[in-house]
């Protein structure tokens, strides 16, 4: 059940990331073209590109976490199953710490920055930091799924 939910979340998220990346490419292209060809600086494009980049990084990191696409160094032989299981638990604990930092301290940043505005876009600065707790929340869902799969695999 959790795997189906995670699959649906990833599918929707990947579509959003695709749209965000397209928007960022168009924004940066517009910025470069306006500045170099038209000699017209579009100040808002820099802020929009930063906003999109922030969303793409943190939400994309959650999808990468689900896929196991982050760097892994394989040092131990395959037949050391118990030792590998211990290392998997250490990895889960490390991921939980990162998720905690993203969710709790990311939300603190969102609250702190909610009182100031990005003047060129007319939005609160908190939108720049909101992807941190959202990405952390997605990672938490995917971590729970990974732990569930880890114990299923271990019990077989």
Q: What distance in Å separates the CA atoms of residue 26 and residue 13, rounded to the nearest whole number? A: 20
Task: Give the total number of structural domains in the chain.
Answer: 1
Residue-range definition of the domain harbouring residue 28: 2-155
DSSP state, residue 114 = T
Per-residue pLDDT tens digits for 123-150: 999 999 999 999 999 999 999 999 998 8
pLDDT at 41 over 60: yes
Per-residue pLDDT tens digits for 58-112: 999 999 999 988 776 677 777 877 888 888 899 899 999 999 999 999 999 999 9
Q: What distance in Å separates the CA atoms of residue 77 and residue 82, rounded to the nearest whole number? A: 11
């Amino acid at each position: 059940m959790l795997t189906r939910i995670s699959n649906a979340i990833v599918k929707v998220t990947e579509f959003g990331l695709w749209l965000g990346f397209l928007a960022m490419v168009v924004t940066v292209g517009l910025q470069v073209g306006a500045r170099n060809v038209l000699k017209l600086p579009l100040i808002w494009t820099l802020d929009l590109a930063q906003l999109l980049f922030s969303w793409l990084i943190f939400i994309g990191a959650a999808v990468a976490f689900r896929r196991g696409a982050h760097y892994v160094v394989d040092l131990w032989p395959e037949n050391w199953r118990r030792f590998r299981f211990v290392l998997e638990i250490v990895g889960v604990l490390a991921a939980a710490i990162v998720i905690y930092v993203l969710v709790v301290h990311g939300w603190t940043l969102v609250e702190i920055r909610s009182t100031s505005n990005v003047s060129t876009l007319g939005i609160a600065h908190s939108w720049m930091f909101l992807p941190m707790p959202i990405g952390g929340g997605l990672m938490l869902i995917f971590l729970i799924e990974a732990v569930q799969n880890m114990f299923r695999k271990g019990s077989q």
